Amino acid sequence: MDDIVKKVKKANAVALKVGNSYIDISAIYELASDAEVSLITADSKEGIEIYRHSTSHIMAHAVKELFPSVKVTIGPATEEGFYYDFDSERPFTPEDLLSIEEKMQEIIKKNNPFIRKVVSKKEAIAFFSEQKEAYKVEIINEIKAEEVSLYEEGGFVDLCRGPHIPSTGYIQAFKLLSIAGAYWRGSEENKMLQRIYGTAFKAKDELKDYLKLLEEVKKRDHRRLGKELDLFSMNDEIGAGLILWHPNGALIRKTIEDFWRNEHLKAGYQLLYTPHIAKIDLWKKSGHLDFYSENMYSPMDIDGIDYELKPMNCPFHIFVYKNAIRSYRELPVRYAELGTVYRYERSGVLHGLLRVRGFTQDDAHIFCREDQIDNEVFNVLEFTLFILQTFGFEKYEIFLSTRPEKYVGTPEGWELSTNALKRALELKGLPYEIDPGEGVFYGPKIDIKVKDSLSRKWQCSTIQVDFNNPERFGIMYRGKDDKEHMPIMIHRALMGSLERFFGILIEHYAGAFPLWLAPVQVSVITVAERHMEYALKIAGFLRTNNIRVETDLGGDKVSYKIRQSTVKKVPYSVIIGDKETENNTITARKRSGENMGFDSMESFLEYLNIEVTKKSTKEQV
């Protein structure tokens, strides 16, 4: 055991792993001499989580010292930091964050040890009741175990499973970032609390780099860029979570949709359009009303019958399939739709284009025989990666989500579906992680998270195998044996929500879209009024040849016009002066500042068409 203690000190470990459990370093002497112990350092995923969670406790300690009447609730680590929710009658201010940071530095400097104590639920309830910490009492009452663990450092006691870092002095670099509202337990029926977000790193340089990244994220915020580039808007008079696509945004959306439809037709899909509402009985039959009702809107009465706004497109595609008798020779049948759906999201989680209440999903459903599953899932994986790479996403993480607690169907069906997804991933040679219990209620799924230009991860693509809905709706095909058989249904979305995907694209490119996506591809600029005729001729020629053009023929200085074109992030500015007019040539300026010369309109068009056709994403931002 002494050897382990030496290793702990040398590695500057933050916790220990014994079997599948994580424990405090202080518990090392309680272990059996032959225990298999692993060191957890702040470099590891588990270690940084423990490090950040400990920092959230230090923050709660600082808040209680500065604002004794504040009630504490919970303070977990997150993927990029931590937060703690507080019940405070007075709203926290940015100045308060500075004071809290100063107090945290004092606590860290004292190097208080984190001391774990196991007590009975009765003792814990008595302690927190005396402290008037009602939220802690509520949490303890819901714990099934007869004992709970408390952690104390510097006189501050909190309820926590742990583990924690050995002492407060382990924290090297942290920053409190923002204040937000958050309902207790995420329910709008409960009190609104105040959430303080922060982050922590084991080195100051890492924190410095992260804060620089946050500044870049602010610059790329799709809500700000959406307004500056006149792409979309939202309006309270219309309703929260509902998007208005402006002409520039609509042009980009059209380009995305045209590409999507053309590629689906090439891949053997048939296109559908389906209604926005359906009788409530349809959603009962599909299982959505039982498993998804919290995300559905209240029914509307039409001619005495209850109808629902659709949260999904799948039942409609099933009825298109059922509209004819199907033979095994016809399978697979692939239906695709850019279908608008409506899902209730709490107002607190709505966020620009990334979390909305009405959105268009690039949906598709494949009906196939059991012997076709592997091939179809493999083809969908290839198609997904092609689509993502075309939009400039080259890096991604893949997760295989397995059976949740609430599910329909049989365990055997789930195992068959899960194994089919595994085989397709392995055949494609794609690394993946298992995400236990995160499948949808009707089947397992593959989730693909893309990494953008700032290495942030975004959930977009999903592939799901479904044995449930074919059975619920009694869909069949006639097999070789002339008997009826039930097909397998594969659900898939490549981009997910168009609104969300567009928001991700805006931030990925910082609004500087590649030529094929840009709403205005070329801005034609005159140096003087005498150049107007030739400028209009160029603009007309380009428009006739499907290039999106705007003109700036006014009396402003050419430097100002170029700057305006750059601010609008137009890929190419064509500057027309005496030389160009006299020689019928073109001088084009990339938004990166590089100038290019062309001996004719035709040669410039050829250059543009090559870039559009390649759908190049190697940008000149």
Q: Are 47 and 163 in contact (CB under 8 A)?
A: no
In whole angstroms, give the CA distance from residue 612 to residue 173.
Answer: 46
In whole angstroms, give the CA distance from residue 430 to residue 420.
Answer: 14
Helix (H) or strand (E) holding 25: none
| Beta strands, E only, 88-132 | 115-120
Q: Are 182 and 348 in contact (CB under 8 A)?
A: yes
Asked whether the CA dihedral 29, 34, 38, 39 is positive or negative, the reply is: positive
In whole angstroms, give the CA distance from residue 313 to residue 276.
Answer: 9
- Written as six digits, the tokens of 457 are 């991860």
Q: How many C-alpha atoms does 170 have within 13 Å on its Cβ side?
A: 26
- Written as six digits, the tokens of 445 are 């799924």
In whole angstroms, give the CA distance from residue 280 to residue 302.
Answer: 11
Q: Could you identify the residue written with the tokens 């449930």? A: 468
- Written as six digits, the tokens of 54 are 């400990």
Q: Are 459 and 466 in contact (CB under 8 A)?
A: no
In whole angstroms, give the CA distance from residue 87 to residue 97.
Answer: 16
351: Cβ contacts below 8 Å, ≥ 6 apart: none
Q: Could you identify the residue written with the tokens 């926005």? A: 276
In whole angstroms, give the CA distance from residue 341 to residue 191.
Answer: 30
How many other CB atoms sit within 10 Å of the CB of residue 93? Answer: 10
Q: Is the peptide bond before 571 cis (omega within 30 degrees of 0)?
A: no
Q: How many C-alpha atoms does 590 have within 13 Å on its Cβ side?
A: 17
Largest interatomic CA distance in the chain? 92
98: Cβ contacts below 8 Å, ≥ 6 apart: none
* Of 615, 619, 593, nearest in space to 510 by CA: 619
Give the single-character DSSP code of 578: H
In whole angstroms, give the CA distance from residue 247 to residue 318.
Answer: 35
In whole angstroms, give the CA distance from residue 423 to residue 371.
Answer: 13
Crossing angle of the two packed helices 94-110 and 45-66, in degrees rounded to 10: 110
Residues designated as active site: 314, 343, 361, 363, 365, 445, 491
